[in-house]
Amino acid sequence: MAGFLASSVRVPGPGAAPPGSRSRLPPQRPAPHRRSAAPAWLAALGARPGAGRHRLTLSRTPARPALPPPRPRAAPPAMSRGSRLALAVSALLSAAIVAAVHIQQRRELERLRSGVVRDLERQNQKKENVRLLEEQIALTKQLIEERDKALMEKRSQQP
Protein backbone atom coordinates (compact mmCIF):
# COMPACT_ATOMS: atom_id res chain seq x y z
CA MET A 1 0.00 0.00 0.00
CA ALA A 2 2.89 2.33 0.77
CA GLY A 3 4.27 1.83 -2.76
CA PHE A 4 0.95 2.76 -4.25
CA LEU A 5 0.77 5.98 -2.28
CA ALA A 6 4.32 6.91 -3.10
CA SER A 7 3.80 6.36 -6.83
CA SER A 8 0.58 8.34 -6.99
CA VAL A 9 1.98 11.51 -5.40
CA ARG A 10 3.09 14.16 -7.85
CA VAL A 11 6.13 16.18 -7.10
CA PRO A 12 6.41 19.44 -9.03
CA GLY A 13 9.56 19.89 -11.06
CA PRO A 14 11.88 22.89 -10.88
CA GLY A 15 10.19 26.12 -12.01
CA ALA A 16 6.72 24.58 -11.71
CA ALA A 17 3.89 26.51 -10.15
CA PRO A 18 2.90 25.65 -6.61
CA PRO A 19 -0.04 23.28 -6.27
CA GLY A 20 -3.08 25.65 -5.95
CA SER A 21 -1.93 28.43 -8.30
CA ARG A 22 -3.04 28.80 -11.85
CA SER A 23 0.00 29.29 -13.96
CA ARG A 24 -0.30 29.92 -17.67
CA LEU A 25 3.25 28.86 -18.39
CA PRO A 26 3.59 25.53 -20.15
CA PRO A 27 5.41 22.79 -18.25
CA GLN A 28 9.11 22.56 -18.99
CA ARG A 29 10.21 19.63 -21.10
CA PRO A 30 13.61 18.05 -21.16
CA ALA A 31 15.88 18.92 -24.09
CA PRO A 32 15.53 16.54 -27.07
CA HIS A 33 18.19 13.87 -27.50
CA ARG A 34 20.75 14.73 -30.17
CA ARG A 35 22.25 12.01 -32.24
CA SER A 36 25.98 12.08 -32.51
CA ALA A 37 28.01 10.84 -35.41
CA ALA A 38 29.14 7.22 -35.26
CA PRO A 39 32.37 6.80 -33.34
CA ALA A 40 35.52 6.18 -35.33
CA TRP A 41 35.77 2.53 -34.28
CA LEU A 42 32.26 1.89 -35.70
CA ALA A 43 33.15 3.65 -38.92
CA ALA A 44 36.19 1.39 -39.20
CA LEU A 45 33.93 -1.63 -38.97
CA GLY A 46 31.82 -0.34 -41.87
CA ALA A 47 28.93 1.33 -40.08
CA ARG A 48 27.02 3.75 -42.25
CA PRO A 49 26.41 7.22 -40.82
CA GLY A 50 22.77 8.10 -40.20
CA ALA A 51 21.73 4.47 -39.95
CA GLY A 52 20.43 5.07 -36.45
CA ARG A 53 21.64 4.40 -32.97
CA HIS A 54 20.69 0.78 -32.76
CA ARG A 55 21.32 -0.24 -36.33
CA LEU A 56 24.76 -1.39 -37.20
CA THR A 57 25.29 -2.57 -40.71
CA LEU A 58 28.55 -4.28 -41.38
CA SER A 59 29.41 -4.98 -44.95
CA ARG A 60 32.54 -5.85 -46.88
CA THR A 61 31.07 -4.74 -50.19
CA PRO A 62 31.45 -1.15 -51.20
CA ALA A 63 28.48 1.15 -50.91
CA ARG A 64 26.03 1.09 -53.80
CA PRO A 65 26.42 3.78 -56.43
CA ALA A 66 23.86 6.57 -56.40
CA LEU A 67 20.67 5.85 -58.28
CA PRO A 68 20.06 7.76 -61.49
CA PRO A 69 17.45 10.52 -61.24
CA PRO A 70 13.92 9.22 -61.61
CA ARG A 71 12.43 9.33 -65.06
CA PRO A 72 9.46 11.60 -65.51
CA ARG A 73 6.32 9.59 -65.15
CA ALA A 74 3.84 9.34 -67.95
CA ALA A 75 0.46 10.92 -67.53
CA PRO A 76 -1.93 8.86 -65.46
CA PRO A 77 -3.79 6.28 -67.50
CA ALA A 78 -6.91 7.42 -69.27
CA MET A 79 -10.34 6.60 -67.90
CA SER A 80 -11.40 3.01 -68.14
CA ARG A 81 -13.93 1.94 -70.75
CA GLY A 82 -16.64 1.40 -68.16
CA SER A 83 -16.17 4.83 -66.59
CA ARG A 84 -16.18 6.50 -70.01
CA LEU A 85 -19.35 4.63 -70.89
CA ALA A 86 -21.01 5.64 -67.63
CA LEU A 87 -20.01 9.27 -68.17
CA ALA A 88 -21.32 9.25 -71.74
CA VAL A 89 -24.62 7.63 -70.75
CA SER A 90 -25.18 10.06 -67.88
CA ALA A 91 -24.35 13.05 -70.11
CA LEU A 92 -26.71 11.86 -72.85
CA LEU A 93 -29.45 11.10 -70.36
CA SER A 94 -29.10 14.56 -68.81
CA ALA A 95 -29.20 16.22 -72.24
CA ALA A 96 -32.28 14.18 -73.19
CA ILE A 97 -34.07 15.16 -69.99
CA VAL A 98 -33.29 18.85 -70.53
CA ALA A 99 -34.50 18.65 -74.15
CA ALA A 100 -37.69 16.83 -73.11
CA VAL A 101 -38.47 19.46 -70.49
CA HIS A 102 -37.98 22.27 -73.04
CA ILE A 103 -40.23 20.51 -75.57
CA GLN A 104 -42.89 19.92 -72.91
CA GLN A 105 -42.80 23.59 -71.89
CA ARG A 106 -43.18 24.72 -75.51
CA ARG A 107 -46.16 22.40 -76.05
CA GLU A 108 -47.81 23.65 -72.87
CA LEU A 109 -47.25 27.27 -73.92
CA GLU A 110 -48.76 26.56 -77.35
CA ARG A 111 -51.71 24.81 -75.73
CA LEU A 112 -52.31 27.80 -73.45
CA ARG A 113 -52.13 30.20 -76.38
CA SER A 114 -54.48 28.02 -78.45
CA GLY A 115 -56.86 27.99 -75.48
CA VAL A 116 -57.02 31.78 -75.57
CA VAL A 117 -57.66 31.72 -79.32
CA ARG A 118 -60.42 29.11 -78.86
CA ASP A 119 -62.02 31.25 -76.14
CA LEU A 120 -62.05 34.27 -78.46
CA GLU A 121 -63.58 32.14 -81.22
CA ARG A 122 -66.25 30.85 -78.81
CA GLN A 123 -67.09 34.39 -77.71
CA ASN A 124 -67.42 35.50 -81.34
CA GLN A 125 -69.54 32.44 -82.13
CA LYS A 126 -71.75 33.17 -79.12
CA LYS A 127 -72.20 36.77 -80.24
CA GLU A 128 -73.10 35.53 -83.74
CA ASN A 129 -75.58 33.03 -82.26
CA VAL A 130 -77.18 35.75 -80.12
CA ARG A 131 -77.44 38.02 -83.18
CA LEU A 132 -79.05 35.21 -85.22
CA LEU A 133 -81.43 34.43 -82.35
CA GLU A 134 -82.50 38.07 -82.09
CA GLU A 135 -82.98 38.14 -85.87
CA GLN A 136 -85.10 34.98 -85.67
CA ILE A 137 -87.16 36.47 -82.84
CA ALA A 138 -87.73 39.62 -84.90
CA LEU A 139 -88.69 37.58 -87.98
CA THR A 140 -91.00 35.43 -85.87
CA LYS A 141 -92.73 38.52 -84.46
CA GLN A 142 -93.05 39.95 -87.97
CA LEU A 143 -94.48 36.65 -89.23
CA ILE A 144 -96.99 36.48 -86.36
CA GLU A 145 -98.05 40.09 -87.01
CA GLU A 146 -98.48 39.40 -90.74
CA ARG A 147 -100.49 36.25 -90.03
CA ASP A 148 -102.65 38.05 -87.50
CA LYS A 149 -103.17 40.85 -89.99
CA ALA A 150 -104.08 38.39 -92.73
CA LEU A 151 -106.57 36.67 -90.41
CA MET A 152 -108.11 40.01 -89.49
CA GLU A 153 -108.55 40.90 -93.13
CA LYS A 154 -110.19 37.53 -93.86
CA ARG A 155 -112.60 37.97 -91.01
CA SER A 156 -113.39 41.47 -92.05
CA GLN A 157 -114.13 40.35 -95.62
CA GLN A 158 -116.55 37.64 -94.56
CA PRO A 159 -120.01 38.97 -93.70
What confidence score (pLDDT) does residue 129 get? 97
pLDDT at 62 over 80: no
SS3 readout for the chain: CHHHHHHHCCCCCCCCCCCCCCCCCCCCCCCCCCCCCCCHHHHHHCCCCCCCCCCCCCCCCCCCCCCCCCCCCCCCCCCCHHHHHHHHHHHHHHHHHHHHHHHHHHHHHHHHHHHHHHHHHHHHHHHHHHHHHHHHHHHHHHHHHHHHHHHHHHHHHCC
* pLDDT-based confidence at residue 128 (cuts at 50, 70, 90): very high
pTM: 0.35
* pLDDT-based confidence at residue 5 (cuts at 50, 70, 90): very low
What confidence score (pLDDT) does residue 104 get? 97
